[in-house]
Amino acid sequence: MDGALRYAQDHGIMLEVDYPYKGLTREGCRANWGKDIIHINDFVDVPPMSPDQLMRALQNGPVAVAI
């Protein structure tokens, strides 16, 4: 997840309507960087079994979870 979040931090995130999933193609990147609408300033990893840190993370924004 960290790699995806770093990419989003560097490039932003677009709506699917502006950058639809096409599966495997040989077209390369077709992103229109002027249409990115979501920007991530920072992210943190919450240590396992740390409910207090998880609650603090929830107060700062969305939380991604891996099981």
- Does residue 66 belong to any structural domain of this protein? no
How far CA 7 is from CA of 4, 28, 59, in Å, comes to 5, 16, 23
Which residue range is the domain that position 16 belongs to?
2-60
Q: Is residue 53 domain-resident?
A: yes
Percent helix, strand, coil in the chain, to 5, is: 35, 5, 65
The predicted structure's pLDDT at residue 25: 67
- Asked whether residue 54 is assigned to any structural domain, the reply reads yes
24 inside domain: yes
**Does some domain include residue 67?**
no
Asked whether residue 65 is assigned to any structural domain, the reply reads no
**Is position 7 within any domain?**
yes
pLDDT in tens, the chain (67 residues): 889 889 888 888 999 888 888 777 677 777 777 888 888 888 889 999 999 999 999 998 888 888 8
Is 17 inside any structural domain? yes
How far apart, in whole angstroms, are the C-alpha atoms of residue 36 and residue 19?
10
Contacting residues for 9 by C-beta, under 8 A, at least 6 apart:
39, 40, 41, 42, 43
When divided into structural domains, the chain yields a total of: 1
